[in-house]
Chain A
Amino acid sequence: MKLFEHYDTSSTPPTPVLIITIVNPVNNVQTKIRAYIDTGFSETLLLPEEYYEKLYLMLTEVDEDYYVIHGGIFPARLKTAIVYIELNGFKKLIKAYIHPYLKKPLLGRSILNKFYLYLKGPEKTMEIEIP
């Protein structure tokens, strides 16, 4: 199954984004988000704090101690919660991370490694194949 997406050209330089659906598995509250492809992020999905309330993630919160250190000095404590991630037929229950200061959702390697991604930089488009 192949998908085509456009880069977000409002950022400089343009950034590849995937439109995915995040679903709370308990109450089915869901939202579509533009998740930025970030191969530098080791985990699944990193969400800005606003989604914690918006998706009622207090219902599926996991008690863990996760931290991220920005620029080697600035730490942030992350919340974790269980969500469904959906992308054109691909649906998986994952542990998402919620960051108190993050501006945009980031999609990390633990999800990206499940797809084939072909970045067509000069055309500002991206091809995704879900095996």
Chain B
Amino acid sequence: MGKRNVFLRNIDEKVYLEVKARAALLGITVSEAVNMALREWLKKPITKIEVKKDDLRDLAEKLANEYYEEGKRGYIVVVSEKEHYLCDTIEECIDLIKKLYSEKKIKRSIIREIKPKALKFVELGGGGIEII
């Protein structure tokens, strides 16, 4: 692979000086250190994802934490900023949403289990071919 000259602006001065000092200790150039750092960075999965703001989800999160602190368990159905319901099961949530929908009271709802939210990953084989 060939080499390319890149001029970078706004590099943090403290970071640059530390990189320069460490590179000198290792007997390598700053460019070699930057290449090493970039290669390592590219190996890591991107974990920070921009998530669109969603008022109902934000409210569901807030309510779930509050109810959890109070010792409540089950599910919350959030249908608007001013209206939410508590249910024991998912089936109960669906029956409630069905009733509200038939009464033309809602166009959207969020079901949220009363427990702290955890980041979950699903396993999907294919190495990306399923989205190409």
Chain A residues proximal to chain B, CB less than 8 Å: 25-27, 38-43, 46, 58-78, 82, 93, 97, 99, 101-104, 106
A36 → B minimal CB distance (Å): 8
Residues on B with beta carbons closer than 8 Å to the beta carbon of A106: 124, 130
Residues on B with beta carbons closer than 8 Å to the beta carbon of A39: 125
Residues on A with beta carbons closer than 8 Å to the beta carbon of B45: 69, 72-75
Residues on A with beta carbons closer than 8 Å to the beta carbon of B125: 38-41
Residues on B with beta carbons closer than 8 Å to the beta carbon of A70: 124, 126-128, 130-131
Q: Number of B interface residues, CB 8 Å?
A: 42
A42 and B111 form a contact (CB under 8 A): no
Q: Of all chain B residues, which has the CB nearest A66?
A: B120
Residues on A with beta carbons closer than 8 Å to the beta carbon of B49: 67, 75, 77
Query: What would 17 more interface pairs be, CB under 8 Å, given A43-B122, A64-B113, A76-B131?
Result: A25-B94, A26-B98, A27-B98, A40-B123, A46-B122, A59-B108, A60-B111, A62-B111, A63-B57, A63-B64, A65-B117, A65-B120, A66-B122, A75-B47, A75-B49, A97-B122, A102-B130
B130 and A104 form a contact (CB under 8 A): yes
B109 and A40 form a contact (CB under 8 A): no
Whether B1 is near chain A, meaning CB under 8 Å from some CB there, is no
A103 and B131 form a contact (CB under 8 A): yes
Q: Of all chain B residues, which has the CB nearest A40?
A: B125
Q: Name the contact of A63 in the complex, choosing from B44, B60, B107 (C-beta under 8 A).
A: B60
Given contacts A26-B101, A63-B57, A102-B130, contact A40 B47 (CB under 8 A): no
A64 and B126 form a contact (CB under 8 A): no
A60 → B minimal CB distance (Å): 7
Residues on B with beta carbons closer than 8 Å to the beta carbon of A75: 45-47, 49
Residues on B with beta carbons closer than 8 Å to the beta carbon of A102: 130-131
A67 and B122 form a contact (CB under 8 A): yes
A77 and B51 form a contact (CB under 8 A): yes
B46 → A minimal CB distance (Å): 6
Given contacts A69-B45, A75-B47, contact A41 B118 (CB under 8 A): no
Whether B18 is near chain A, meaning CB under 8 Å from some CB there, is no
A40 to B111, CA, bound (A): 28
Q: Name the contact of A71 in the complex, choosing from B110, B113, B127 (C-beta under 8 A).
A: B127
A104 → B minimal CB distance (Å): 7
B101 → A minimal CB distance (Å): 5
Q: Of all chain B residues, which has the CB nearest A27?
A: B101
A71 and B128 form a contact (CB under 8 A): yes
